[in-house]
Amino acid sequence: MRTHKITIAGLIMLLGAVLLMESCSTVPLTGRSQMNLMPESNMVAMSLTSYDQFLDTNKVSTNQQQVAMVKRAGRNISVAVEKYLKENGYESYLQYFDWEFNLVDDEVPNAWCMPGGKVVVYSGILPLTQSEAGLAVVMGHEIAHAVARHGNERMSHSMLVQMGGMALGEALKEKPNETQTIFSAAYGLGSQYGVMLPFSRQHEYEADKMGLIFMAIAGYNPQEAVAFWQRMSENSGQAPPEFLSTHPVDTKRIAALNEIMPEAMKYYQGNN
């Protein structure tokens, strides 16, 4: 009788395969499979720490008109997100969202959304959004990143590279500082601009599509997206705005938006 010995390396590979299978999830709306090793509750907890630190060191705007517009657009899109998730079998995602929308005084054209729905818009992007619909393009896109759990996916890949075969629970318990560091790196924190590290091109296109659908459900004309990105491109000059450095604009991206547009317009027309 032959006996089969399982080597330690083989066992690690087997456990890793099981972990990857158990960590696979599906992105709402697009249906793409992704790997999320981190419990979303941990992602939200770490994001709250970074979010509070950011607000403590940056000036929240007192421009009542602009603040009201940011909160109104954010509220409308968050309601649209919740409606879509509830109607399409992703209601469990909602337990992690506690929406909050802030406008900070900063000339940099930028915006971001943390896991859990903490959204920050920089005043410097408002001259380029030009209207509430233009602002909805930006906020819909950034919120889509959070809904799709792109940050978790990016951090999961980083953890695999940096921590190897260490069990997730052990990493969170034994190396909390290292885990927080990986989170901060995944979101580009520590920079004066907040969240700067670019998402992958796949994530960007995915957020574009999801953002268009969400803003359309919220009652904003998704056609404004093409006009907004064209304005961003035209105003980039020699030194592109910070938002452009993390959100590449090119003819392919605008072509992709136009390709998605008929589907997005169906949602818009169905809600108006």
Is 206 a catalytic site residue? no
Catalytic residue from among 100, 107, 142, 178:
142
Count of alpha carbons within 13 angstroms of residue 118, beta-carbon side: 18
State both tokens at 188.
Answer: 């580009």
Q: How many CB atoms lie within 10 A of CB 200?
A: 12
Q: How many CB atoms lie within 10 A of CB 204?
A: 21
State both tokens at 226.
Answer: 């093409």
- 180, containing H or E segment: helix 176-187
Cβ atoms 218, 171 nearer than 8 A: no
Q: b vs e for 119-151, b when ≥16 Cβ sit within 10 Å of the residue's Cβ?
A: bbbbbbbbebbeeebbbbbbbbbbbbbbbbbbb
Write out the catalytic residue numbers: 142
